[in-house]
Structure 1
């Protein structure tokens, strides 16, 4: 796939950014041609529009010879978050109250950590079950 010098600069810059965002575009891409340049990259599958942002795609990485980084966030052992994950990995899982007792966090901090850190950042799948007369239990699927 033959790329123009501008397309190549955009893709190389995006591949080097942690967010893989194509913005900011090079100075030679003025407001008049900005959308045409982006549309050309999207049409060729080199760029994807996700969550309101244009980012380099896997095909874009391949086109410039830079494989996409697949580094997953690492989890440090001995942290409160790591202990929370251990509790959630048990067959019976854990209740909010058990996690609060183990970490010393407030209940809203535990719920926020489940949503932001575990689900969104680490990509874990959480399930919950509520038995009659028992607290809701969460576990990692």
Structure 2
């Protein structure tokens, strides 16, 4: 793991919790030459990326480009990995940012009450990551196997599957009753 300063760790940690991995706004008190130096170093290392800001969605600006537009900062997959977070949706967000809007398409709703799950990063080595690995196997995993691997109670494992994985992360999880194993869950 690379050596990060406290400021770099704070910027990347906050970005990991925000929709689209936005690194803006920067921590309070970080402005001027100090902010420029920290951000330039992080862009050079590939931890942050400057992208066009979507002013209609109210994204904060890093700098103005002079043509009525501006840029904002987004944490990259390398940046998330630098703080020990395994990116789940960082590439999907980057692809969505690069996509050109269709001329005939209706504009996307800009309300915060949108039903789509926010991009979330998963830390490697956590029990949630263990369960996802079990569910990704071709044979899937039963609740008993998840309980054995994590030491959790059965209701906690079911709660993570329905709430944490299906609702929060938006993963497509299927359940099939199998002879001798009971309900077997798989990420489809």
> Normalized against structure 2, the TM-score is what?
0.40
* Runs of 4+ in structure 1 over 4 Å off: 44-48
Offset of residue 89 of structure 1: 0.3
* Aligned pairs (5 A) from 1:82-121: 82-121=129-168
Offset of residue 121 of structure 1: 1.2
The structure that has the greater radius of gyration is: 1
Offset of residue 84 of structure 1: 0.4
Q: 1:31-84 deviations in whole A, cap 9, x for unaligned?
A: xxxxxxxxxxxxx95746xxxxx4498xxxxxxxxxxxx972111000000000
- Match status 1:127 vs 2:174: yes
Extract unaligned runs of 5+ from structure 1. 1-11, 18-43, 49-53, 58-69
Kept after mapping to 1: 8 A contact 2:118/2:169: no
Partner residue in 2 for 1:60: none
* Aligned pairs (5 A) from 1:65-80: 72-80=119-127
User: What is the rounded CA distance, in whole Å, between the counterparts of 2:157 and 2:169 in structure 1?
Assistant: 15
Q: 1:13-33 deviations in whole A, cap 9, x for unaligned?
A: 96359xxxxxxxxxxxxxxxx
Kept after mapping to 1: 8 A contact 2:131/2:146: yes
SS at structure 1 position matched to 2:185? strand
Offset of residue 124 of structure 1: 0.5
Root mean square deviation, CA, Å: 3.2
